[in-house]
């Protein structure tokens, strides 16, 4: 009875988190952005769905890897009225973000037991200031959200086979959508780990064996990604950034984007006042992270390290794999250029992972932790002071994260905030499609000001159906 009640409570809490996170993500996009189709969502995924069909397109490679989740979203959107394609893709992408938040809320319970702090951790994907600029609310960038989910999937220590199956399904979708989930594979050891005192406990044995499904699907899925990468041409030119560009770029985009949507303001502040303006956030972040590592349980330490390494690793890998990501921050005019452009899409996942690490470390500092075993009053008082200091630092970090989220909540800076909206373009070409049903309507996608023109060719038979 007690287990059933706990399951119902957990399920209800997860649904509430998913709904709230979905609504918040939808709000942050703004009406124009959510009515506009993003780049590959139309030019690539929509076109390849028409070419290969629902099943044939699911595991069709693009840009050197598999994109299962975006393909599923596009398949859903194509089966709805075509004039609603943009809002369907945006809505479905926001729902997926909500599901990611709900999954983290459930899976992180052992590491962050206090539900208010766990709620802040869970909604990181939708509250990070720079998320809606390019990543939030479109199918093409859903793969970045998988990087927030897999550290918790790979370390999950579930108690039933039903829960194990759910974790395995989520892991399969994640690894077949984002190959960089390979970076977190070592975390699977946590799911298999047993402490000596429970080695003979049959319940503990069952809980360990339930890690088998997630391990199998992860290995198989990532093997498919590796084979795809080795056998598929990747049109994007590889980058060759200097170490200084990687480091300075991380400070001006992921780190700055953790607290500001207009992260380019940081570069402007450095030009005006020197690099000293970066000392406060760098030192503050370092204090929180180191404090979490010192005071946390071994599982909390593993997660903090994994999230920080993931943040730096995904940023570095993105610059190495994509020449477009390197803006030459360390070059003579690099800082000035940084004040005139929005952050790249590679900054968002790195900022999300860094924010998640901060929240986990802050939760550790807030406590509770066991007292020092000492009969000396002086040592007890000292420990009490340390507890108070740690709690103040932890709550301060949480306050900064929440304040950054509130300050960037309103729709604004986005590559889709100026359109072009999908539906008006279709409606303008409806008469032409009626005159020639064998033709196609050409719809422009966002972004508009890059070196490639993104557009979607919509068969007229889809435009005039039921009209």
Instruction: Return the percentage of the chain with pLDDT > 90, whole number.
Output: 67
Q: 365: how many CB neighbours lie within 10 A of its CB? A: 25
pLDDT for the residue 432? 93
Kind and range of the H or E run holding 444? strand 440-444
Distance of alpha carbon 209 from alpha carbon 215, whole angstroms: 10
Structure-block tokens of residue 407: 């300050």
End-to-end CA gap in the chain: 55
Distance of alpha carbon 155 from alpha carbon 307, whole angstroms: 12
Higher pLDDT, 85 or 262: 85
**Model confidence over 364-383: pLDDT tens digits?**
999 875 444 444 444 434 57
pLDDT for the residue 377? 40
Distance of alpha carbon 141 from alpha carbon 315, whole angstroms: 15
Query: What pTM does this model have?
Result: 0.92
DSSP string, 301-336: HHHHHHHHHHHHHHHHHHHHH-GGG---TTSTTHHH
**Model confidence over 157-214: pLDDT tens digits?**
888 888 899 999 999 999 999 999 999 999 999 988 865 444 445 555 555 678 899 9
Distance of alpha carbon 252 from alpha carbon 76, whole angstroms: 37
Confidence of residue 56 (pLDDT cuts 50, 70, 90): very high
CB-based contacts of 337: which residues, under 8 Å, 6+ apart? 327, 328
Structure-block tokens of residue 310: 């993931």
CA dihedral 190, 196, 197, 201 (to 10 degrees): 70
Domain ranges of the chain: 2-407, 422-464
**Model confidence over 80-132: pLDDT tens digits?**
999 999 999 999 999 999 999 999 999 999 999 999 999 999 999 999 999 99
Residue 463: closest CA among 44, 88, 81 = 81
Q: How many residues does the chain have?
A: 467
Q: Residue 453: is its pLDDT beyond 70?
A: yes
Confidence of residue 2 (pLDDT cuts 50, 70, 90): low
Distance of alpha carbon 247 from alpha carbon 69, whole angstroms: 31
Q: Residue 277: is its pLDDT beyond 70?
A: yes
Higher pLDDT, 293 or 265: 293
Residue range 215-229: mean pLDDT, rounded: 96
Three-class secondary structure assignment of the chain: CHHHHHHHHHHHHHHHHHHHHHHHHHHHHCHHHHCCCEHHHHHCHHHHHHHHHHHHHHCCCECCECCHHHHHHHHHHHCCCHHHHHHHHHHHHHHHHHHHHHHHHHHCCCCCCCHHHHHHHHCHHHHCCCHHHHCCCCHHHHHHHHHHHHHHHHCCCCCCHHHHHHHHHHHHHHHCCCHHHHHHHHHHHHHHCCCHHHCCCHHHHHHHHCCHHHHHHHHHHHHHHHHHHHHCCCCCCCCCCCHHHHHHHHHHHHHHHCCCCCCHHHHHHHHHHCHHHHHHHHHHHHHHHHHHHHHCCHHHHHHHHHHHHHHHHHHHHHHHHCHHHCCCCCCCCHHHHHCCCCCCCCHHHHHHHHHHHHHHHHHHHHCCCCCCCCCCHHHHHHHHHHHHHHHHHHHHHHHHHHHHHHHCCCCCCCCCCCCCCHHHHHHHCHHHHHHCCCCEEEEECECCCCCCCCEEEEEHHHHHCCC
Q: Residue 57: is its pLDDT beyond 90?
A: yes
Kind and range of the H or E run holding 96? helix 85-107
Q: Residue 422: is its pLDDT beyond 70?
A: yes
Long-range contacts (CB closer than 8 Å, 24 or more residues apart) made by 83-89 = 83/422, 83/423, 83/426, 83/427, 84/423, 85/37, 85/42, 85/46, 85/422, 86/34, 86/35, 86/36, 86/37, 86/421, 86/422, 86/423, 87/34, 87/35, 89/37, 89/38, 89/41, 89/138, 89/139
Distance of alpha carbon 110 from alpha carbon 91, whole angstroms: 31
Residue range 288-308: mean pLDDT, rounded: 95
Contact criterion met (CB below 8 Å) for 449 and 415? no
Distance of alpha carbon 94 from alpha carbon 294, whole angstroms: 36
Of 193-207, 242-256, 272-286, 387-401, least confident by mean pLDDT is 193-207
pLDDT for the residue 195? 52
> CA 424 from chain center: how many Å?
31
């Amino acid at each position: 009875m007690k287990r059933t009640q706990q399951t119902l409570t957990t399920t209800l809490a997860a649904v509430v988190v998913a709904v709230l996170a979905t609504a918040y993500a939808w709000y942050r996009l703004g009406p124009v952005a959510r009515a506009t189709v993003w780049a590959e969502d139309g030019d690539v995924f929509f076109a390849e769905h028409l070419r290969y069909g629902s099943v044939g397109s699911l595991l069709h490679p693009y840009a050197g890897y598999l994109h299962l989740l975006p393909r599923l979203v596009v398949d859903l959107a194509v089966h709805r009225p075509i004039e609603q394609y943009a809002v369907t893709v945006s809505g479905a992408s926001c729902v997926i973000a909500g599901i990611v938040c709900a999954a983290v809320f459930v899976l992180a319970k052992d590491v962050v037991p206090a539900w208010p702090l766990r709620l802040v951790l869970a909604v990181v994907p939708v509250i990070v200031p720079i998320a809606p600029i390019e990543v939030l609310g479109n199918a093409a960038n859903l793969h970045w959200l998988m990087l927030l989910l897999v550290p918790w999937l790979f370390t999950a220590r579930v108690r039933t086979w039903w829960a194990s199956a759910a974790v395995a399904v989520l892991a399969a979708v994640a690894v077949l959508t984002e190959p960089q989930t390979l970076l977190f594979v070592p975390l699977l050891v946590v799911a298999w780990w047993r402490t000596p005192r429970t080695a003979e406990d049959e319940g503990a044995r069952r809980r360990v064996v339930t890690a088998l499904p997630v391990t199998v699907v992860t290995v198989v899925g990532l093997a498919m990604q590796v084979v795809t990468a080795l056998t598929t041409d990747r049109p994007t030119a590889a980058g060759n950034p200097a170490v200084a560009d990687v480091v300075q770029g991380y400070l001006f985009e992921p780190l700055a984007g953790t607290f500001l949507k207009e992260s380019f303001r940081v570069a402007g502040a450095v030009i005006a006042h020197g690099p000293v303006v970066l000392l406060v956030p760098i030192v503050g972040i370092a204090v929180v992270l180191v404090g979490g590592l010192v005071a946390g349980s071994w599982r909390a330490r593993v997660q903090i390290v994994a999230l920080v390494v993931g943040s730096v690793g995904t940023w570095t890998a993105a610059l190495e794999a994509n020449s477009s990501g390197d803006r030459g921050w360390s070059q003579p005019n690099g800082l000035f250029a940084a004040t005139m452009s929005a952050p790249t899409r590679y900054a968002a996942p790195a900022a999300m992972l860094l924010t998640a690490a901060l929240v986990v470390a802050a939760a550790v500092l807030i406590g509770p932790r066991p007292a020092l075993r000492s009969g000396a009053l002086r040592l007890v008082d000292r420990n009490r002071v340390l507890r108070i200091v740690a709690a103040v630092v932890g709550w301060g970090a949480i306050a900064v994260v929440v304040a950054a989220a509130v300050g960037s909540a309103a729709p604004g800076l986005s590559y889709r905030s100026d359109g072009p909206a999908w539906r008006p373009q279709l409606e303008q070409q409806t008469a032409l499609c009626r005159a020639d049903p064998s033709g196609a309507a050409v719809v422009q996608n966002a972004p508009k000001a890059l070196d490639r023109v993104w557009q979607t060719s919509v068969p007229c038979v889809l435009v005039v159906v039921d009209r």
